[in-house]
Amino acid sequence: MASQAAVLAAIASPRRREILRLVWKQELTAGAIHQAMPDVTFGAVSLQLRSLVETGLVHTRAKSRNRFYQARPEALGLLGKMLEQMWDDKLWALKLEAELEETRRGPKPHRRSRIKKG
Partner DNA sequence: CAGTTATTTTAGTTTCATCTAAAGTATTGC
Partner DNA sequence: GCAATACTTTAGATGAAACTAAAATAACTG
> What backbone torsions phi and psi does residue 38 show, to the nearest 5 degrees?
-75, -5
- Positions 31 through 70 that interact with DNA (CB under 7 A): 31-32, 34, 39-51, 60, 62, 64-67
Q: What is the dihedral of CA 58, 59, 61, 66, to 10 degrees?
A: -10
Q: What is the DSSP letter of 73?
A: G
Is residue 12 part of the contact set for a copy of itself (CB under 8 A)? Answer: yes
Is residue 82 part of the contact set for a copy of itself (CB under 8 A)? Answer: yes
Q: Which of 9, 11, 8 is nearest to 87 (CA)?
A: 11
The sheet that has 28-29: what strands, in order across it?
A: 28-29, 66-71, 58-63
**In terms of CB distance, is 25 or 65 closer to a copy of itself?**
65
The footprint of a copy of itself (CB under 8 A) covers 3-5, 8-9, 11-12, 14, 17, 62-66, 78-79, 81-82, 86, 92, 96, 99, 115, 117-118
Residues contributing to the site for DNA (CB under 7 A): 13, 15-16, 29-32, 34, 39-51, 60, 62, 64-67, 113-114, 116-118
